[in-house]
Structure 1
Amino acid sequence: MKKLMITVLLLTSVILLISASSLSKHLIILFFIGNLSSFVGTLAGGGGLITLPAMMLIGIPIQTSIATNKFSSGIAAVSSVFYLIHHKQLSIKTIIPHLFVAFLGGIGGALVTAQLSENTMNMFAIILLSIALVVTFKNKGWVERAQCGYHESTKNRWAPFILFSIAAYDGGFGPGSSTFGILYYMNKQLTYLKAVQLTRVLIFGSCVGAFIIFYQTGFLQWSYAIAMACGSIIGSQIGLLVLPKVPLKIAKSLLITIMCFLITQMVYKII
C-alpha cells in the first residue's frame, strides 16, 4: 500500500510537470529541489536551507522564493498530516490546538516580513539556532529520553507563545523552523518520532496562514509553486516512511549538522 501510494504520487507529479514543461526550464529543477528539501526538512528541519538559496541561484526573487516555499511546504505538510491521521498516528483532537496557533503565527510572521529586512531575520535566526545548538550539545539525555513512550507532557502556559513564535518565524522566513519545532517537542518529553509528526502539523498551519498573506501581495508564481509542491509531496511522504527507521543517534547528529549549516549560511549572508 505504501509503495503504491508513492508510485501514484510520483506518476501524478511527472504528468503535471510534463504538461507544464513548456512554461519554463526551471520547473524540473524546482521539482527536484522540492523533493530533496522536503525529505530533509521532514527528518530534521532545514529544508529552507536548500530551497531558498537554490531558487535565488536560478534567478527567482527572494519574495517570490519565500511565497513559493510557503505554498510547497504547506502542500507537503498537509499530505503528511493526512497520512498521520489515516494511519492513526495523530488524532484530530491533538492536531487542532497546534494547527490553530500555527495558523495565527503564520499570518503574523508573513505580515512582519513585509516590515523587516532579510538581514534582521537572519540575525534573529542565528541567535535562536545558536541557543538550540548549545542546548542540543549539552543535553546528554536526548537519546535516552527520546526512547520513552509517547505521552502528553505537562501543560505549560508558555507553550502557545512558543509555538506561535516558531510558526511566525516559519511564516515570515522559514529556514530552521522545523528544527525549532522538533527541538521544542523533544524538550516536552515527546519521542523523536512524535516530535517530527507534530512539527509537520505546525508547519502546515503556519504555511497556510503565510500563504494567505503572500497570495494577496501577488508574489506567488503558480507554475513555480505547483512544480515545487509536487516534489515536496513525494519528499515528505518518503521522509515519513523512513522516519521510524532512523536511529536516534543519527537523528541527533542530523539535527546538529543542519543547525550548523543554517548558522554558517546565515552568517555568510550577513557578512
Structure 2
Amino acid sequence: MELAHFSIELLAFLFFIAIVAGFLDTLAGGGGLLTVPALMMSGIPPVAALATNKLQASTGTATASYMMLKNKKVSWDEIKPLMLFAFIGAAVGTTMIQFVDTRVLSFVIPLVMLFIGIYFLMAPALDKQSKQAKVSAKNYQRLVVPSIGCYDGFFGPGTGSFFALAGVSLNGRGFIDATAIAKTLNFSTNMASLLVFLVAGQVIWALGFIMILGQVIGARLGSHCLFTIKVKYLRYLVVTMCFAMLVKYGFTF
C-alpha cells in the first residue's frame, strides 16, 4: 500500500506509538503490546499487522542490540548460540501462523496482555543481582530460548518481557543483565519472523517505514536509560502498559 492510502492522523499516531514502544521495549520488553493492537485498530488485517510489526520492531531491537554490544553490556560469544536457537524457534512459529485462522488472534491478544500484566503485578520483586540458575545452560539454550522464539514467531507481543523473565527466573540472571540479553534474542527472533513474512508477502512497507523512524528514536532513548532507571520502575511500566492497552483494545473491539 502507498502512503496516500493512509491519513496524516493515522501515520502520526503510528509514528508516536512506535517511539513509545521502542522506548518501553528496550527498557522492559512488550513494545509489541502497543504496536500490534495499534496496527489492528487501524484496520490492518491480523497477519499483515504481525508482519508489519516485525519490520518496524526489527529496527528497534537492532538499535538496542547494537547499543548493548557497543557498550559491552552483553558478550557476543555468550549470546551467539542463544540467538541461533531463538532464530530457529521464531522461524518455526512464523511458518505456523500462516496456517491459523486469524480470528483467533482477536482472542489471543487481550489474553496475553492480561497474563503479562497480572504476572508482573503479582510476581515477587525482581532482583538486580544474579542467582542460581534453575535449569541447566544446555536446557535453557535448547528448550527455553527456542520455545519463546516460537511464541514470538507465532504471535509476538511480550516476547522481550518473556526473555527477560526467563533470564531471571530460570537462568539466574539479574533483571538488568537479563533485559540486556533479551534485546539481542528479540532481535534474532524478529529477523527470523520478518524473513518468513517477506517471503509470504505480508508486510505493509509504507506503514513499516514510518514506524521504523519512531522505533529508532525510542530504542536509542531507552538504551541510554536502561542502566540508570530503577528496576521497580521497569515493573510499573510493564503493568501500566499492559492494562492500558487492554482497556483500549476492549473499547475498540
**Band the TM-score falls in, shorter-chain normalisation:** 0.7 to 0.9
Alignment counterpart, residue 33 of structure 2, candidates 34, 49, 69: 49
Q: What is the count of residue pairs matched by the alignment?
A: 247
Would you say 1:251 and 2:234 are equivalent positions? yes
**Displacement after TM superposition at 1:27 (Å):** 3.6
**Displacement after TM superposition at 1:261 (Å):** 5.2
What residue in structure 2 maps to residue 13 of structure 1? none
What residue in structure 2 maps to residue 155 of structure 1? 136
Would you say 1:222 and 2:202 are equivalent positions? no
State the SS of the aligned residue for 1:158: helix
Gaps of 5+ in 1: 1-19
In 2, Cα distance between equivalents of 1:261 and 1:181: 22
**Displacement after TM superposition at 1:180 (Å):** 1.0
In 1, Cα distance between equivalents of 2:119 and 2:41: 33
Report sequence identity in percent: 24
Q: How does 1:109-124 map to 2 (within 5 A)?
A: 109-118=93-102, 120=104
State the SS of the aligned residue for 1:46: coil
- TM-score, normalised on structure 1? 0.78
In 1, Cα distance between equivalents of 2:72 and 2:26: 18
State the SS of the aligned residue for 2:172: coil
8 Å contact from structure 1 (residues 73, 203) kept in 2: no
What residue in structure 1 maps to residue 155 of structure 2? 173
In 1, Cα distance between equivalents of 2:162 and 2:218: 20
In 2, Cα distance between equivalents of 1:213 and 1:149: 36
Q: Residues 222 and 154 from structure 1, CA distance in 2 versus in 1: closer, same or farther, beyond 3 angstroms?
A: same
- TM-score, normalised on structure 2? 0.82
Would you say 1:101 and 2:85 are equivalent positions? yes
What residue in structure 2 maps to residue 66 of structure 1? 50
**Displacement after TM superposition at 1:204 (Å):** 0.6
AA at the equivalent of 2:203: L
8 Å contact from structure 2 (residues 18, 35) kept in 1: yes
In 1, Cα distance between equivalents of 2:198 and 2:229: 36
Q: Deviations over 1:114-145 (max 9, x none)?
A: 122345456667777777666655653x34xx
State the SS of the aligned residue for 2:43: coil
In 1, Cα distance between equivalents of 2:105 and 2:43: 21
In 2, Cα distance between equivalents of 1:242 and 1:166: 25
What residue in structure 1 maps to residue 176 of structure 2? 193
In 2, Cα distance between equivalents of 1:54 and 1:127: 16
Q: Residues 53 and 87 from structure 1, CA distance in 2 versus in 1: closer, same or farther, beyond 3 angstroms?
A: same
8 Å contact from structure 1 (residues 176, 262) kept in 2: no
Would you say 1:210 and 2:186 are equivalent positions? no
CA RMSD, 1 decimal: 3.1
8 Å contact from structure 1 (residues 153, 190) kept in 2: no
